[in-house]
Amino acid sequence: MITAALWGVSSAATFAGFSIKPYGDQKLNLQTGTTVLGKGGVASDAERGVSVDAKYIEFKEGDWLKARDAKLTTREGGTLLGQNVEYQAKSGILSASGNLQYGDARVQGLSARTISLDTTRKLAVAMGGVSSQKPAMSADNIVVDYANNRAVMFGNYQYSYNRTKLSSAKADAVLLVTWNALGQPSASTKVSEAQIAPYRALLK
């Protein structure tokens, strides 16, 4: 059982590139190396352009960070709301689950069972009943490549934008969506395995 004697209190900290600003006291468990922000705070990574504002944050220096009732924002203007957010320092992967809602200049009102963000490669993987309001699209899973302004929809997809309407009920169906410089999407069913192989590997 952890006793009060094992906790230290501080007002600022850093975690794997994140600058931590607590809303209340910060408690460090000297036995486990875990720091808890019971009233939440903001964790910002200036290098990767990611910020997490949450009602509860717990982290272990150089290892992991967990947050609850969180709002994540990116340098590119994306906003992700989720009940649970976890960041693994070694892999640079940030994952979220629970009442997820995501939006940016290209996609609005996107929801999924889970969303993982590779903060280094600028890749997002949305899995489980993925859907968005604009453009109106849905699929079993969607991988978004922000560096190349494209998204790949995997399985049971539906897509609608302006006069373009595409759909497939096949579990292995694939649709490629690309955005131009004006942020307007276009979709194509003509996708080679070489194009989608790197993205399909992210679903495993």
pLDDT in tens, 112-137: 999 998 888 888 999 999 999 999 99
Name which of 106-120, 129-143, 162-176 the model is least confident about.
106-120
Identify the pLDDT of residue 47.
Answer: 78
Provide the phi-psi class of 197: left if phi over 0, else alpha when psi is between -120 and 50, else beta: alpha
- Over the chain, what is the mean pLDDT? 88
Gap between the Cα atoms of 144 and 124, Å rounded = 5
Compute, in degrees rounded to 10, the torsion defined by CA atoms 163, 164, 165, 167.
180
Identify the pLDDT of residue 15.
Answer: 55
Q: 11 pLDDT exceeds 50?
A: no
Provide the phi-psi class of 76: left if phi over 0, else alpha when psi is between -120 and 50, else beta: alpha
Q: How far is CA 34 from its chain centroid?
A: 23
Share of the chain above pLDDT 70, in %: 92
Give the residue extent of every domain in the chain.
4-203
| Residues 17-46: tens digit of each pLDDT | 678 999 999 998 888 889 999 999 999 887
| Residues 43-64: tens digit of each pLDDT | 988 777 889 999 999 998 878 8
pLDDT band of residue 106 (cuts 50, 70, 90) is confident
As assigned by CATH, the class of the 4-203 domain is mainly beta
For residue 139 the two structure tokens come to 């699929």
pTM to 2 decimal places: 0.84
